[in-house]
Protein backbone atom coordinates (compact mmCIF):
# COMPACT_ATOMS: atom_id res chain seq x y z
CA UNK A 1 0.00 0.00 0.00
CA UNK A 2 1.40 3.38 -1.01
CA UNK A 3 1.82 6.10 1.58
CA UNK A 4 -0.17 9.27 1.04
CA UNK A 5 1.07 12.84 1.19
CA UNK A 6 0.39 14.94 4.28
CA UNK A 7 -1.42 18.22 3.64
CA UNK A 8 -0.12 21.48 5.13
CA UNK A 9 -1.87 24.85 4.96
CA UNK A 10 0.05 28.12 5.00
CA UNK A 11 -1.06 31.72 5.22
CA UNK A 12 1.78 33.99 4.08
CA UNK A 13 2.00 37.73 4.60
CA UNK A 14 4.94 38.89 2.49
CA UNK A 15 6.65 42.27 2.83
CA UNK A 16 9.60 42.22 0.41
CA UNK A 17 11.13 45.68 0.53
CA UNK A 18 13.88 44.68 -1.92
CA UNK A 19 11.28 44.05 -4.65
CA UNK A 20 8.56 46.43 -3.40
CA UNK A 21 6.21 43.45 -3.09
CA UNK A 22 3.50 43.29 -0.43
CA UNK A 23 1.08 40.39 -0.69
CA UNK A 24 -0.96 37.77 1.16
CA UNK A 25 -1.17 34.17 -0.05
CA UNK A 26 -3.21 31.20 1.16
CA UNK A 27 -1.40 28.01 0.13
CA UNK A 28 -1.93 24.28 0.36
CA UNK A 29 1.21 22.13 0.23
CA UNK A 30 1.61 18.38 0.08
CA UNK A 31 4.45 16.77 2.05
CA UNK A 32 5.55 13.81 -0.09
CA UNK A 33 6.10 10.63 1.99
CA UNK A 34 9.84 10.71 1.19
CA UNK A 35 10.18 14.46 1.89
CA UNK A 36 11.29 16.07 5.16
CA UNK A 37 9.56 19.02 6.77
CA UNK A 38 12.81 20.96 6.25
CA UNK A 39 12.54 20.50 2.48
CA UNK A 40 8.83 21.37 2.55
CA UNK A 41 9.53 24.64 4.34
CA UNK A 42 12.43 25.51 2.02
CA UNK A 43 9.91 25.08 -0.83
CA UNK A 44 7.53 27.42 0.98
CA UNK A 45 10.34 29.94 1.51
CA UNK A 46 11.29 29.70 -2.18
CA UNK A 47 7.69 30.59 -3.03
CA UNK A 48 7.78 33.61 -0.72
CA UNK A 49 11.09 34.84 -2.16
CA UNK A 50 10.19 34.33 -5.83
CA UNK A 51 6.44 34.97 -6.13
CA UNK A 52 5.86 37.63 -8.81
CA UNK A 53 4.25 40.93 -7.89
CA UNK A 54 1.44 40.34 -10.40
CA UNK A 55 0.03 37.56 -12.58
CA UNK A 56 0.67 39.27 -15.91
CA UNK A 57 3.13 36.49 -16.81
CA UNK A 58 1.26 33.77 -14.92
CA UNK A 59 1.27 32.77 -11.28
CA UNK A 60 3.91 30.82 -9.37
CA UNK A 61 2.59 27.36 -8.53
CA UNK A 62 3.75 24.29 -6.68
CA UNK A 63 4.46 21.49 -9.13
CA UNK A 64 4.68 17.75 -8.51
CA UNK A 65 8.46 17.88 -7.89
CA UNK A 66 9.37 14.63 -6.13
CA UNK A 67 6.35 12.85 -7.58
CA UNK A 68 7.28 13.64 -11.21
CA UNK A 69 10.89 13.87 -12.39
CA UNK A 70 9.85 16.07 -15.35
CA UNK A 71 8.53 18.81 -13.06
CA UNK A 72 10.31 21.16 -10.66
CA UNK A 73 9.25 22.01 -7.13
CA UNK A 74 7.64 25.26 -8.28
CA UNK A 75 7.04 26.82 -11.67
CA UNK A 76 5.50 29.75 -13.46
CA UNK A 77 3.90 29.53 -16.91
CA UNK A 78 2.66 32.56 -18.82
CA UNK A 79 -0.78 32.61 -20.44
CA UNK A 80 0.57 31.11 -23.68
CA UNK A 81 2.00 28.13 -21.78
CA UNK A 82 5.63 29.25 -21.99
CA UNK A 83 7.65 28.13 -18.98
CA UNK A 84 8.82 31.41 -17.43
CA UNK A 85 10.43 30.28 -14.16
CA UNK A 86 11.59 26.86 -12.92
CA UNK A 87 12.42 26.57 -9.19
CA UNK A 88 14.28 23.66 -7.62
CA UNK A 89 15.00 22.90 -3.97
CA UNK A 90 17.84 20.63 -2.88
CA UNK A 91 20.96 19.44 -4.65
CA UNK A 92 20.12 18.32 -8.20
CA UNK A 93 22.77 17.18 -10.69
CA UNK A 94 24.03 19.25 -13.60
CA UNK A 95 21.96 17.33 -16.18
CA UNK A 96 18.70 18.25 -14.45
CA UNK A 97 19.76 21.89 -14.18
CA UNK A 98 20.88 22.03 -17.83
CA UNK A 99 17.56 20.50 -18.93
CA UNK A 100 15.65 23.03 -16.80
CA UNK A 101 17.70 25.93 -18.26
CA UNK A 102 16.82 24.73 -21.75
CA UNK A 103 13.11 24.66 -20.97
CA UNK A 104 12.59 27.83 -18.90
CA UNK A 105 13.46 31.49 -19.24
CA UNK A 106 14.78 31.53 -15.66
CA UNK A 107 15.89 28.78 -13.28
CA UNK A 108 16.39 29.33 -9.55
CA UNK A 109 17.79 26.75 -7.15
CA UNK A 110 17.71 26.87 -3.36
CA UNK A 111 20.30 24.45 -1.95
CA UNK A 112 20.29 23.55 1.73
CA UNK A 113 21.72 20.92 4.05
CA UNK A 114 25.13 20.16 5.51
CA UNK A 115 26.36 18.60 2.25
CA UNK A 116 25.55 21.66 0.12
CA UNK A 117 29.09 23.18 0.14
CA UNK A 118 30.64 19.88 -1.03
CA UNK A 119 27.89 19.40 -3.63
CA UNK A 120 28.42 22.96 -4.96
CA UNK A 121 32.22 22.54 -5.11
CA UNK A 122 31.71 19.62 -7.48
CA UNK A 123 29.00 21.31 -9.54
CA UNK A 124 30.00 24.99 -9.86
CA UNK A 125 32.28 24.60 -12.89
CA UNK A 126 29.80 22.31 -14.66
CA UNK A 127 26.94 24.84 -14.50
CA UNK A 128 28.95 28.05 -14.94
CA UNK A 129 27.88 28.27 -18.62
CA UNK A 130 24.14 28.11 -17.81
CA UNK A 131 23.19 31.74 -18.45
CA UNK A 132 19.71 31.73 -16.89
CA UNK A 133 20.57 29.87 -13.65
CA UNK A 134 20.62 31.45 -10.18
CA UNK A 135 21.78 29.34 -7.23
CA UNK A 136 21.20 30.24 -3.58
CA UNK A 137 22.33 28.38 -0.49
CA UNK A 138 20.54 28.46 2.86
CA UNK A 139 22.98 27.88 5.72
CA UNK A 140 22.29 24.56 7.47
CA UNK A 141 21.54 26.04 10.88
CA UNK A 142 19.06 28.49 9.38
CA UNK A 143 17.27 25.84 7.30
CA UNK A 144 16.92 23.65 10.40
CA UNK A 145 15.58 26.60 12.40
CA UNK A 146 13.04 27.16 9.63
CA UNK A 147 12.05 23.47 9.82
CA UNK A 148 11.28 23.90 13.52
CA UNK A 149 8.41 26.17 12.46
CA UNK A 150 6.59 23.34 10.69
CA UNK A 151 2.93 22.90 11.58
CA UNK A 152 -0.03 21.50 9.68
CA UNK A 153 -1.53 25.00 9.74
CA UNK A 154 0.94 27.90 9.54
CA UNK A 155 0.60 31.66 9.56
CA UNK A 156 3.86 33.30 8.54
CA UNK A 157 4.99 36.87 8.19
CA UNK A 158 7.91 36.96 5.73
CA UNK A 159 9.94 40.16 5.62
CA UNK A 160 12.81 40.74 3.18
CA UNK A 161 15.13 43.71 3.36
CA UNK A 162 18.68 44.15 2.02
CA UNK A 163 18.94 40.44 1.26
CA UNK A 164 18.03 39.39 4.81
CA UNK A 165 14.89 37.33 5.37
CA UNK A 166 12.85 37.16 8.57
CA UNK A 167 10.16 34.52 8.96
CA UNK A 168 7.88 34.80 11.99
CA UNK A 169 4.83 33.05 13.34
CA UNK A 170 3.01 33.48 16.64
CA UNK A 171 5.70 31.58 18.62
CA UNK A 172 9.08 32.30 17.03
CA UNK A 173 11.10 34.17 14.46
CA UNK A 174 13.95 32.97 12.25
CA UNK A 175 16.46 35.17 10.47
CA UNK A 176 17.84 33.80 7.19
CA UNK A 177 20.78 34.98 5.11
CA UNK A 178 20.61 33.23 1.73
CA UNK A 179 24.02 33.15 0.04
CA UNK A 180 24.20 33.76 -3.73
CA UNK A 181 26.39 31.01 -5.21
CA UNK A 182 25.65 31.84 -8.85
CA UNK A 183 23.97 34.83 -10.44
CA UNK A 184 22.39 34.61 -13.92
CA UNK A 185 24.70 35.78 -16.71
CA UNK A 186 23.52 38.82 -18.62
**Tens-place pLDDT, residues 28-77:** 999 988 899 999 999 999 999 999 998 889 999 999 766 667 899 999 99
CATH number where 33 lies? 3.10.640.10
Q: What is the pLDDT of residue 29?
A: 94
Mean pLDDT estimate for the chain: 94
Q: Is 109 within a domain?
A: yes
Which pLDDT tens digit goes with each residue over 94-136?
Answer: 999 999 999 999 999 999 999 999 999 999 999 999 999 999 9
Q: Is 1 within a domain?
A: no
Q: Is 18 within a domain?
A: yes
CA 97 to CA 109: how far, in whole Å? 9
The helix/strand/coil state of 43 is helix
| pTM confidence score | 0.94
Q: Is 28 within a domain?
A: yes
Residue 2, pLDDT above cutoff 70:
no
Do residues 111 and 136 touch, judged by C-beta distance below 8 A? yes
Q: Is 128 within a domain?
A: yes
Q: How many domains does the chain have?
A: 1
Q: What are phi and psi of 99, to 5 degrees?
A: -65, -40
Q: Is 118 within a domain?
A: yes
Domain that holds residue 132: 6-182
Q: Is 116 within a domain?
A: yes
Q: Is 134 within a domain?
A: yes
Amino acid sequence: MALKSTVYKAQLQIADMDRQLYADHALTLALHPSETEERLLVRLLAFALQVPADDMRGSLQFARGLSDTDEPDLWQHDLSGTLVHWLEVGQPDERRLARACGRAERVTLYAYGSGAPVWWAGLADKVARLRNLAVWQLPTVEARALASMAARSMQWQVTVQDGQVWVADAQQSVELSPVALKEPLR
